[in-house]
Amino acid sequence: MLQAIRRWTLLCLASGLSLLAHAQYPDKPIKIIVPYPAGGTTDLLARSLAPRLSERLNQPVLIDNRGGAGGVIGSQVVAKSPADGYTLVFGSIASHGILPAIQNPPPYDPLKDFAPISLVAMTPNVLLANVASPAKSLADLIQMARSKPGELNFGSTSLGGSPHMSGELLKSMAKIDMVHVPYKGGAPMLVDLIGGQVPFAFDNLPSSIQHIRSGKVRALAVTTTKRWPGAPEIPTMAEAGLPNYESSAWFGLFAPGATPKPVVELLQRHVAAILKQPEVEKLYLEQGAMPVGNTSEDFARFIAGEMVKWRTVVNDTGVKLN
């Protein structure tokens, strides 16, 4: 009886300390790992969110770029980190939607090894051409590809990312043969596109919008079903000649899987509040992104659907990730 009372007392004490720890969260700096190089869309959106989250939490929120393997390396770091809310990852459709669904074996489970906090933003991808290219439209590109099967290259931000898969979807729907050239992020890919080392590319709109506006690259089409409000002059892939074409990128915040629910809920509330601010919505739209800020439960359901969708696309296109 005495031992049972002691165990009950220790359990209550531990629970009380746990609740106290949650109530005090955060009491030290928080690190958000961006699993891609600096300068890409994931990095830009994370750096827009971090200082505003820092203001609301009264703690520094630091960005740590850990690129590699299409977002897998940095994400694995967070999956294995202490589940205390101090190490997060700003994941993407590639790192938490496509690659875990199609790699065998999967590098991790986005819904078990991570605690989804909130879907932060969605953005179209954009088909780009070097300004010296004779292709002035999607129809021009398709005609060129059909006249030179297997000779045209297109770049993307990573192997298995949504820009890559947007290109594979184009190849499948237009029945053309192009060679994929994967890069380690949007920034190095854009350097080669501008320099003419690769004639065409798919990118997330936010990381390329300034180069489009400055005339350094030519935008042929966005991958969403409707023109993007922040760049209404760019036609959709459907308008440009591929009806029913659709591919969108998304970005969200995750904690390690066993992170206490009160911590996840606190972070979700702050992220959602930030994304509702008019100046943030304006900033994201100017960058080519649409802020979201949904609940953790809705985000988890969304991810489950995305994994099914992209597994189907891979099966249909026969794309290989090696």
pLDDT in the model for residue 281: 92
The residue among 204, 173, 176 whose CA lies nearest residue 190 is 204
Burial 102-128 (b: 16+ CB within 10 A, else e): bbeeebbebbebbbbbbbbbbbbbbbb
pLDDT in tens, 179-217: 999 998 888 999 999 999 999 999 999 889 999 999 999
212: in domain: yes
46 and 109 share one domain: yes
The pairs formed by 53-61 with CB atoms below 8 angstroms and a separation of 24 or more are 53/267, 53/270, 53/271, 53/274, 54/30, 56/270, 56/273, 56/274, 57/26, 57/30, 57/270, 59/26, 59/27, 59/28, 59/29, 59/30, 60/29, 60/30, 61/29, 61/30, 61/31, 61/32
* 66 and 33 part of one domain: yes
pLDDT of 4 > 80? The answer is no
Which of these ranges, 18-22, 112-116, 304-308, has the smallest mean pLDDT? 18-22
Per-chain mean pLDDT for the chain? 90
Task: Give which of 139, 186, 160 is closest to 93, Cα–Cα.
Answer: 160
In the listed set 205, 222, 239, which residue is the last one of a domain according to the structure? 222
State the average pLDDT over residues 265-290.
93
Q: What range defines the domain where residue 215 resides?
A: 124-222
Residues 223-273 have pLDDT tens digits of: 999 998 888 999 999 999 999 998 889 999 999 999 999 999 999 999 999
Q: Residues 108, 165: one domain?
A: no
Q: Say whether both 128 and 112 belong to one domain.
A: no
Alpha-carbon span 35 to 300, nearest angstrom: 20
The whole-number pLDDT of residue 13 equals 47
Predicted model pTM = 0.80
> Which of 90-94, 176-180, 267-271, 281-285 shows the lowest per-residue confidence on average (mean pLDDT)?
281-285
> Does the pLDDT value for residue 18 go beyond 60?
no
Instruction: Judge whether residue 48 has pLDDT over 70.
Output: yes
- Total count of domains within the chain: 2
CATH of the domain at 169: 3.40.190.10
Kindly state the tokens that stand for 288. 């080519």
266: CATH: 3.40.190.150
Residue 75 has pLDDT above 70, yes or no: yes
